[in-house]
């Protein structure tokens, strides 16, 4: 092959690579816009007076900066209550699921006992039942336990969803940690729980954090059970609060969307944290791999 041919081939390859790169970015931009549109529209509507929301042609940006929706939300103690309820519920459910779930997962991962496989299978099968089919039985149980219209009724209900997930997820993470760590820690003088808390959990931190985020979001976003198992306005959560705006206060789109934005913020912040923490291969280095 001559030099000229060589140069020609190189230029062609360069062009093809550039073209492929451009196409990838075009595809990514289109997908991102489609996925992000509802969020962008939500933010846009929250910043516009209701009259502007339905103007034709639709406009993404408001004529002037309009924050009345947000102001009214923060001024209304009811909405603050909804936020407080949602946070309280999310935090309690997360802490309880992690505490109980991690201990159960440690048992499943590190010990063999009679019926262990059946028990694990049972935990997994609980995830296969559509939650809506459980609504009526749960209602009955919660009323019977005298927990209707209380935060604890919701905590108990959400735990039944979050806990199996926490067990499965933490069991998966703990299974990936070699037993050598347990044994090294035992030789160093740790009790079984010492092994879990001093060695396994720090190594499984990414798993712990993603499980925490998932259980928090599960509780934060849940609507159906929160609606069915509470009655008084003081016990409502953010998703139920948003839905209440439709009926009770008419359709104040700016307020509704402002509250939705406020309601989505923890989700966004948590996802950013997850990205920061779920660093693959934290356990790399300790064990020859």
Partner 1 sequence: MATLELDGIKKKYGELEVVEGLDLSVEEGSFTVFVGPSGCGKSTLLRMIAGLEEITAGELRIDGERMNDATPVERGVSMVFQNYALYPHMSVEKNIAFGLKMLGLPRDDIKRRVAAAAETLQIGALLKRRPSQLSGGQRQRVAIGRAIVREPRLFLFDEPLSNLDAELRVTMRVELAKLHRQIGATMIYVTHDQTEALTLADKIVVLRDGAIEQAGTPMELYLDPANAFVAGFIGSPQMNFLPVTTTGTDAGLRLSSAELYALNVVPDGAGWGADMTLDLGIRPEHLQVGEDLPVRFDINVDVVENLGGTRYVYGSTASGKSVIAETRADAIPRAGDKVTVGFDPVRARYFNANGQRLRHKLAA
Question: Among the candidate windows 65-73, 201-209, 210-218, 237-245, which touches partner 1 by CB under 8 A?
Answer: 201-209
Helix, coil or strand: residue 225:
helix
Question: Whole-number minimum distance, CB 176 to partner 1, in Å?
Answer: 12
Question: Among the candidate windows 12-20, 58-66, 109-117, 277-285, which touches partner 1 by CB under 8 A?
Answer: 277-285
Q: List the interface residues with partner 1, window 168-197 (CB under 8 A).
A: 178, 180-181, 183-190, 194
- Cα dihedral sign, 156-161-162-168: positive
Question: Whole-number minimum distance, CB 181 to partner 1, in Å?
Answer: 6
Question: Whole-number minimum distance, CB 115 to partner 1, in Å?
Answer: 18
Q: Which of 159, 199, 261, 262 binds partner 1 (CB under 8 A)?
A: 199
Q: How far apart are CA 55 and CA 61, in angstroms?
A: 12
Helix, coil or strand: residue 59:
coil
Question: Whole-number minimum distance, CB 186 to partner 1, in Å?
Answer: 6
Q: Which residues contact 39 (CB under 8 A, 6 or more apart)?
A: 264
Q: Which is nearer to partner 1, 198 or 231 (CB)?
A: 198
**36-271-129 Cα angle (round to 5):** 90
Q: Which is nearer to partner 1, 183 or 234 (CB)?
A: 183
Contact 199, 190 (CB under 8 A): yes
**Contact call for residue 205 and partner 1 (CB under 8 A):** yes
Contact 215, 164 (CB under 8 A): no
DSSP, residue by residue, 139-187 = HHHHHHTT-TTSHHHHHHHHHHHHHHHHHHHHHHHHHHS-HHHHHHHHH
Question: Whole-number minimum distance, CB 177 to partner 1, in Å?
Answer: 10
Q: Which is nearer to partner 1, 148 or 277 (CB)?
A: 277
Binding site for partner 1 (CB under 8 A): 178, 180-181, 183-190, 194, 199, 202-203, 205, 282-288
């Amino acid at each position: 092959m001559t030099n000229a041919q060589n140069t020609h081939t190189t230029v062609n390859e360069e062009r093809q690579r550039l073209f492929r790169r451009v196409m990838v970015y075009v595809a990514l931009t289109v997908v991102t816009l489609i996925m992000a549109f509802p969020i962008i529209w939500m933010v846009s509507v929250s910043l516009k007076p209701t009259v502007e929301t339905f103007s034709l042609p639709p406009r993404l940006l408001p004529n002037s900066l309009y924050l009345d929706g947000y102001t009214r939300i923060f001024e209304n103690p009811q909405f603050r209550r909804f936020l407080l309820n949602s946070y309280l519920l999310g935090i309690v459910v997360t802490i309880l699921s992690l505490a109980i779930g991690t201990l159960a997962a440690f048992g499943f991962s590190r010990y063999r006992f009679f019926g262990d496989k059946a028990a694990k299978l049972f935990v997994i099968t609980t995830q296969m039942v559509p939650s809506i089919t459980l609504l009526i039985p749960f209602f009955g149980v919660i009323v019977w336990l005298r927990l209707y219209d209380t935060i604890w009724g919701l905590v108990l209900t959400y735990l039944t969803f979050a806990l199996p997930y926490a067990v499965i997820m933490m069991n998966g993470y703990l299974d990936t940690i070699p037993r050598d760590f347990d044994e090294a820690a035992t030789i160093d003088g740790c009790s079984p729980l010492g092994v879990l808390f001093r060695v396994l959990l720090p190594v499984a931190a990414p798993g712990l954090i993603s499980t925490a985020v998932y259980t928090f979001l599960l509780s934060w976003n849940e609507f159906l059970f929160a609606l069915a198992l509470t009655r008084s306005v003081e016990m409502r959560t953010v998703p139920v609060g948003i839905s209440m705006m439709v009926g009770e206060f008419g359709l104040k789109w700016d307020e509704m969307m402002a509250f939705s934005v406020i309601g989505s913020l923890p989700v966004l912040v948590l996802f950013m944290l997850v990205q920061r923490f779920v660093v693959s291969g934290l356990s790399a280095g300790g064990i020859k791999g």
